[in-house]
């Protein structure tokens, strides 16, 4: 009987619980937007719908955790799959985990256009919204699809993702995923670009609200403006929005 370390069991079981909680949250948002169909006519709710769909994909991948990894993989608890199931999980893992932060960036752009720049709904719908959907979808699908011919999706420890096979192989010694390191750099470059854009966007909104408060303080009672504390509230909300991307 094979014995597995506590770490191996934790890596296999913990994502199932966290992934399930994430799945419940995203599914609730999805059904709330879809059932109340009138809300889908707003740009904001369509962006939230796209974000929820991508997060549902990523959550299901986490729920599966080690199950799709080829059976018999050394030290992997509950590995029950094949190379094909591992490839499928890796594809959807990359798709969901790229589309989610990119949709967060799109949502941030929406906030910037509405709060900082004062754009109207119709203007956003016709000018900016197509790109808000196309960029996350095209970028995520392109990178995810490229992983298939390059045989990038292999056992990465606790699920199937971009990894070389056998583990720690280099160049011609790899039977699969010899370009894994390059694609991982591309993946993280996209993720950090999204995080940076959200950080800059949220900060620009905070600056806008703070500057408006200063103008108001010159025109009315400064104590009343200070008690309102809009800029502080915006700063907290912006911090939560950006912080969520790191989780």
Give pLDDT, residue 84.
97
Give pLDDT, residue 117.
93
Query: Assign residue 225 a region: left if phi > 0, alpha if psi is -120 to 50, beta otherwise?
Result: alpha
Question: What's this model's pTM, rounded to 2 decimal places?
Answer: 0.90
112-137, pLDDT tens digit by residue? 999 899 999 999 999 999 999 999 99
Give pLDDT, residue 89.
98
Nearest to 213 by CA among 187, 194, 232, 186: 232
Give mean pLDDT, residues 70-87. Answer: 95
129-188, pLDDT tens digit by residue? 999 999 999 999 999 999 999 999 999 999 999 999 998 898 889 999 999 999 999 999
């Amino acid at each position: 009987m094979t014995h597995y370390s506590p770490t191996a069991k934790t890596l296999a079981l913990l994502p199932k619980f966290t992934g399930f909680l994430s799945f419940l949250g995203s599914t609730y948002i999805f059904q709330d937007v879809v059932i109340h169909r009138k809300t889908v006519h707003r740009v904001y709710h369509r962006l939230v719908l796209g974000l929820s769909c991508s997060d549902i994909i990523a959550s299901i991948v986490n729920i599966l955790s080690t199950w799709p990894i080829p059976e018999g993989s050394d030290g992997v608890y509950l590995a029950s799959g094949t190379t094909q199931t591992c490839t499928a999980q890796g594809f959807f893992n990359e798709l969901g985990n790229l589309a989610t932060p990119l949709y967060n960036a799109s949502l941030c752009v929406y906030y910037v256009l509405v709060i900082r720049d004062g754009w109207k709904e119709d203007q956003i719908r016709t000018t900016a919204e197509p790109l808000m959907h196309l960029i996350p979808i095209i970028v995520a699908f392109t990178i995810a699809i490229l992983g298939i011919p390059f045989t990038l999706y292999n056992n990465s420890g606790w699920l199937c993702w971009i990894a070389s096979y056998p583990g720690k192989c280099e160049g011609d010694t790899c039977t699969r995923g010899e370009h894994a390191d390059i694609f991982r750099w591309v993946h993280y470059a996209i993720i950090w670009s999204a995080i940076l854009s959200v950080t800059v966007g949220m900060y620009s909104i905070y600056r806008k609200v703070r500057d408006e408060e200063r103008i108001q303080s010159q025109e009315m009672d400064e104590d009343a403006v200070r008690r309102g504390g809009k800029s502080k509230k915006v700063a907290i909300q912006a911090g939560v929005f950006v912080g969520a991307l790191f989780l």
